Structure 1
Amino acid sequence: MTSTPQRARGGCLSLDSPDPRDPRERAAAAAERATQAAGVEIRELHSPADMFEACRLFERVWRTDSTSPLMTIELMLVLAHCGGYVVGGYEGGRMTAAAAGLLTPTGLHSHIAGVDEGSRGRDIGYALKTHQRAWCLAHDITEVTWTYDPLVGRNAWFNLAKLGAIPVEYLPNFYGRRSDGLNGDAPSDRLLVRWDLSTERVALTGEGVSHGIEPDPVVAGAEVGAGATVVGLDAGPDGRPIVGRLDGDVVLVRVPRDIETLRGTDPDSADAWRMAMRDVLGVLMAEGRAVWGFSRQGWYVVGRSPQP
């Protein structure tokens, strides 16, 4: 397996080592660069009017309505009052992104973050996360957790490769069955990730370094020897999931090409992918396997122990 980068900047630090430079200053500089590049201003929210605007944004992103809100004005006000992370991203005075998180015994849990459809593709989500990192370090918080749908490949790449987060638990049907416009009426399996802000691995992501991993020399559908690298989940010719072997030292787990479109065009196939991912990645993680990373080609790479 190969991953990028091969070494930490400076040549002698492990990616999981503490950052010898001032992490607050480094994170603040990264956040400034990211927000400027994205053309967005990120600021904390406090007033009921701010929270109303953020809640409406979440409704647009998840295609829900005010009768079944993902967040409420009251809840967001409480989160902000209790010291949580509640921010909006503004372009020309208009809120086009928002995020909210709550304090936990170990740090911050980032519960929700969204970007308006018309503002996507300009790294505003990345700007939100770099701002969140800087905010956390300024408040002496070094661990952030959040969940995402493991079937959505672009989110897997963003969270694991671009941000350097580490998957720690597979959560079957975490929120119960969802009925919003993005998820449809389906079980809400999620992957819980941990973002260790004290490490060089994460610090480098604020400087444009990604941690993608490539499953070479294995190609889709191939197996290289018993006990070596095997394909645990792949897509068949019809696009439906095919469960393979889980007994290798390294197991490759494919995600579907576009699960969000598939939920609308072929719900049965989407459900099959959900159950297959649960039966493969969920089982592997429950057995103590470690997710080493995610590749551009749409594979989770899972090993028996943390990545060396």
Structure 2
Amino acid sequence: MTHELHIKSLSTLEELQEVQQLETLVWGMDSIPTHQTLTAVKNGGLVIGGYLDEQLVGFQYSFPGFKDGKVFLCSHLLAIHPEHQKKGYGRLLKLAQKEEALKKGYDLICWTYDPLESVNANLNIGKLKAVCRTYMEDCYGKLEGSLNEGLSTDRFMVEWTINQDLQADANLPSEAAQLVTVEKDEQGFPVITEYRLDTYADIIAIPIPTEIQKMKKENLSLAIDWRSKTREIFKYLFAQGYAVVGIERIKEDNIQHYILQKQK
């Protein structure tokens, strides 16, 4: 039997204490104090919870941001209980966040995520149609928890314009320029064997592995190699005016591609 996810905005101390417990379970590090989340909710922020049979199984936390004279919603944490991941609940929470943000007068939501986390990439870029033009090197320094262990905390900063309907995939050329050569090692993991940065193409495909957490556990040096090489590639391309605008998944090769387009 399939149970429908019930989503609502959270504001009471008791609800936010539940959020704390789920945050610790999912992220494996100290949770945000309730006095912070409670203050954010009372001052333009949001905490949205997803429930199954009255049990909190997911949440999203965001607070107001301000940059270059513009107010936006800074989306800080999204967590789904390990037993309920990969069921589409993250997308449902983000769409609920969008609706609540629009009610509060926001038209832009921004957040960061690890560009090598393919599931997050598929949600943020593939499904929500956010775009990225900013690479943040070692954004948070060293973080506790297994999800962040072993790699520098590099992040994409994505921008999600919410005062318009989600757009279908852009009509991009069928063949994007390939700057990176990938082969498989004896463990079946993808390895970058060669790459170049010079290009005049309007559309570029850049691969990432689909199982970075597994790679970290079984071949940390390879995961670090992916981090350092993709960091150089993305920072260079963003500086040249490209933006990440889409995702192309090729699961059988244990990779997926970010699609970058030259911005006019």
| TM bracket (short chain) | 0.7 to 0.9
**Cα pair 2:135 2:154 within 8 Å, conserved:** yes
Matches within 5 A, 1:1-308: 39-64=4-29, 69-105=30-66, 106-200=71-165, 202=166, 204=167, 211=169, 216-217=174-175, 229=177, 231-238=178-185, 239-248=190-199, 249=201, 250-297=203-250, 298-305=256-263
Once the two structures are superposed, residues 207-241 of structure 1 have per-residue CA deviations (whole angstroms, 9 ceiling, x without a partner) of xxx538877336xxxxxxxxxx2x22343221222
Q: Using the alignment, how far apart are the partners of 2:22 and 2:181 within structure 1?
A: 35
When the two structures are superposed, what TM-score results if normalisation uses the length of structure 1? 0.75
User: Per-residue deviation at 1:277?
Assistant: 1.0
Displacement after TM superposition at 1:173 (Å): 0.7
Identical-residue share of aligned pairs (%) = 25
Which deviates further from its counterpart, 176-185 or 232-241?
A: 232-241
Give, as a single letter, the amino acid of the residue that structure 1 aligns with 2:261.
Answer: G
* Partner SS state of residue 122, structure 1: coil
For residues 155 and 233 of structure 1, the distance between their equivalents in structure 2, rounded to whole angstroms, comes to 22
AA aligned to 1:185 is G
SS of 2:15's equivalent?
Answer: helix
CA distance in 1, matches of 2:8, 2:106: 18
**Helix, strand or coil: the match of 1:296?**
strand
CA deviation profile, 1:84-123 (whole Å, cap 9, x unmatched): 0112111111100011101123220100011101112321
Q: Hey, what's the Cα distance between the residues in 1 that align with 2:102 and 2:118?
A: 29
In structure 2, the residue matched to 1:27 is none
The CA deviation at 1:268 is 0.8
Matched with 1:5 is none
Q: CA deviation at 1:78?
A: 1.6
The amino acid of 2:42's aligned partner reads: H
- 1:133-170 superposed Cα distances (whole Å, 9 cap, x missing partner): 11011111111001111111221111112101111311
Whole-angstrom CA distance in 2 between matches of 1:241 and 1:167: 22
Q: Taking structure 2 as the reference length, what is the TM-score of the superposition?
A: 0.87
Size of the alignment, in residue pairs? Answer: 248
